[in-house]
Structure 1
Amino acid sequence: MPPSLPRPALTGLEAALTNACRLTPTPPRQLVRSLSTTPSPLQQSFPPDSPKFITIPEPPQSSEVKHPPVKGHLPTPRNIFPTRGGNLKAKAAFIKAATPLSKAEQLGLPPKSEAEAAHRKAAAIRRKNLEEGIRGLRSRKKLHQDKILARSQYKAEFNNARANAPERADEALTRSTVKQSTAKQVQVKPDPYRFNNAVMARKKTERLAAQKSEARRDALAQLYVAAQTFIVTEKQLEERVEELFKEDTFNKMGNASSNMWELSGAPISVGARQAQISGMGAGLSDPTKAATQAAVRRKLVAEELSGGKLVIDAQ
């Protein structure tokens, strides 16, 4: 038995302390000038940041030759026996038509020379190989299809058996017990008035839709009436600006106020507006709200009498 070789150290620190680790010495200068500009391996000196600066021995397993991957792809195999007419290839008529005999062989004439006899022998071998190959491929395909069908049937039967299997004993014994009376009490019974409730809900929805449609028509009519005073030209805009931004604007309103804040007061807050809309809060006793409600009532009466829509003056 040959002596075993000493195993080199695997750790970097232990390998660095051995004699195997050494700096790559700088080779001496060559007296002969090289004609090539590419440095030879003996002339290369590795910098300290190179992994080859310190020679570390490798274990025998890492020195195995790893072949590069072969790029490319295998061609798609031909379907020798297609779905339509593929079974006819395995029959004797197809093989006989694919490998016909020569006219001399059909007439039963002997070969005229040794070369012709050799050709006839090679042709017979080719006919035999073609027949055996077709029949072998057909049997292999049938065996493969039978395996796939058997596997599919086994999976279907297995899944059906698992789906229709009775309850296991451990599940039946560990399942919580529910009394029959409790099961009847906790079950949700259908509402006996569900159809009447559906009819009432439908009527309520139709009534709300009619109210929304009527409010939409009223808003459109008010917009049409208010559009008479809309500013649509630059001349109207200039006249309105001159009317509002005069020095004696507030004096003409019958008040000694000097600005809009003193005339109308501070604008309403968001909280007060929400209280007015919802009908809750301290705004119920506000006199301005009562006046607004009275103006709205007068507007509704005037609309009923005139048969048209009116717009409440913001002033």
Structure 2
Amino acid sequence: MASRPLVLRTQRAYICPSCHNHQRHLTTTARLSAISPESPRYIDIPTPPQQTSTPTKRIKGVLPVPRDVMARRTPASISASIRDRTTPHEPTSPKERFEAHMTSLRKTNLRTAAEALHVRRTAAEKETQQRSRASRRERDAALLAPEHFADRLTAPTLDASVAAELARYERKAALPDPAREKRLVKARKRVARTEEGLKARRADALHTLYMNARTFVVDEQGLNRAIDEAFGTVDEPHNFGGDMPSLWSKGAPPKINEMALGMAGLGRSALQRDVELGQMEVLKDRVRRMAEGVTGGKMDP
């Protein structure tokens, strides 16, 4: 009896009966039922391809400002320090060979450093000058550039008088005064009239002074004569329009306080002394006022 052929069967994985209908096959299209409405991918929005940008390389540190190598030393001294020997010398010992090697290395480094510093400084100065000239050109171009059409079209419409006033304010000019010349002519005429009046009054005053100079009191005899003419002499005093002599010819009359002191029992000598002092003060005041009236000047009391 022939045997049956052996059939190999693969065992399938267990699938839940409730999930059997939701099984998805291999596909690239997402089903709406697989993405919830809360997900940002619920609505398919095309995205641009990834943009590649070259990252900026960070340069650590800053080079110092190149110094002027010729500030303290002359080119001749630098050339003398880096020049080679005029006569060749072959070292004979290891120490001399080492020193010769170090000397050559020092000269090479000094020469290279001086050249590099000079190149760097020249390049830095040239770049600074170019930047300054470019900035100056941009500034001059901006200052001398005509008005942009957008500014001209959007500028507010101003009255001619307002525009002229704004232009005058920008120029810091004076206010317009059409009647200035007429006012100046009137002012000059007014000043001329005032000057003429002052000149005439000054000439009249000078002439009056000249005419009255003959009666000026310039010495003691003239003063005594003027006093006698005004008040008379002791023998013939002036009565000032009356028959009786003047009340003040013998001094001031007694005051109320003097009479009260006399009634209070003061001595007659003290009362007489006060009366004499009062008469002297009155006489001094009269002489001072008379001298002021005659001479026309103020005198000290």
TM over 0.5: no
Highest CA radius of gyration, 1 or 2? 2
TM-score, normalised to structure 1, is 0.34
